[in-house]
A and B are shown apart, each in its own frame.
Chain A
Amino acid sequence: MILQFIVNGIILGSIYALVSLGFALVYNTTRTFHIAYAAIYMFASYMMFSFFRTLELPLIISFVIAILATVALSLTIEVIVYQPLVNKNTSLNIIMISSLGVMIIVINTIAMFYGNETKILNPDISESYTFGNILITYTQLYQLVTSVLIIGIFMLFLKYSNFGIRTRAMRDDSTLCKVFGMDIKRMRLYLFALSALFAAVGSGLIAYDVGFDPYIGMPMLLNVVVALIIGGIGRFEAPVLGGFIIGLLQALTVWVFSARWQDAITFVLLILFLLLRPQGLLGEKQRAV
């Protein structure tokens, strides 16, 4: 029985890892506390709903269009809201509050057009494999394979490609990058696009499994941020590790207590980490500033 929970935890964790990596991509490099990421995540599910259920396009095609639409939204936010603030050289807190405002706008616009009720992408019950006494649905298998594949490819990309090296340089010192003549503005566009892509893939995979409403973004964002903090800010492996830990922890919470206490346990873990190991598991020791 516990094996089943561990497997569920790993699968959920893979999604957290993917979405958390998207958040880290923006946070580690630009230090933007991208709250609107919650709305971007939610937006992808609704786009998929529009193309798959309303326009009745094939699943894969609607998935791809939804990802593109989500990337477009993310870039729009970057160009209209963040860039002008960055050009004005405002503080990061102001950018964070603006991001909060953007999140409120996007969520309520979606709620206005689609309604507040839960929407379902896939009304059928997914078929499943059984290994011994562990049961895995096809959808879960897709979730695991897709997210692990994307994370793996991205890690290689980060290590060996020119873009990856630039990203890591920006993480280390974005002012110095500017001094060396890197086009920060364009880099930011790439990073925001890529982070939206990760959010959209995660969102689509979850939406196909359990359905969604306009308010799914915030709980996801919170889990993702906790994953990033306990993994450690800085290294890009950290949010992946954190994501799997959160997934496993939540699955075990369901096993030991009940699903109602998932949030409480997750945030107790966050606070323990903030107090005892603010640099996270993989971070280097430094003062929490």
Chain B
Amino acid sequence: MEWTRQFSRRSFAWTVFWMALLCAALYGAVLWHAAQLKGYLYIAMADIGQLRVSLMDAVADTLEWHIIFLTLTLAGITLAFALLLWLTIKGVARRAADGIGHKVAVKKTARQPETLEEKIVKIPPAERERQALSLLSLLQREGRLLDFFAEDLEAYSDDQIGAAVRGIHENCKKLLDRRIKPSPVMEQEEGSAVTLPAGFDPMTVKLTGNVAGEPPFKGVLRHKGWRAARFDMPILTTAGDPRILAPAEVEIE
């Protein structure tokens, strides 16, 4: 869309420009030929009294010659301007296309596919809710996380809790590692001395304690932080109640 708008605007401007010039040139050519003819006509009329037939012939020949010459001139000028117009339009098109980033007529050996997500039109409302709750839904489906949080831990011994937690831990961890791959923000060992250079991003490093002056700061790393090294979540293709995190299960005998 953007490309078409740019292209049409610029090509219109150039078309008008060259056509105006063409008009002026044609007008000029016609005027010049007309002036020539006027000259000849005056000479002819001045000599008519002497009935110089031969001069009349000469005038008729010149007239014919002028008409041919005029036609050729007009054709030549029109073609020249058409050529100039075409070259300009081509240049405009290429520049407009480059500006948007499309490559025109490039030979490819492998087609770069759009990502799957770019192709699918998402279904609109409650979208934010659904996307936000979808990770929780997955953790329940594969790791039983919500069931775990619903438990009253007072009722069980540490041993019993431990046994269940091992399974939940394994499944949830597997899911997160595959989809989100939580990784540390800073790689150094916790408790070691670190130096933060000037211009560090406060989004990635949070300062606590005796913060004064300008960076570089010397301090002790207390928490490595978490960063999502990956985002590999499924594309949701249907509508439906986004609040349903896990359907109820009924077994038919």
Do A and B come from the same complex?
Answer: no
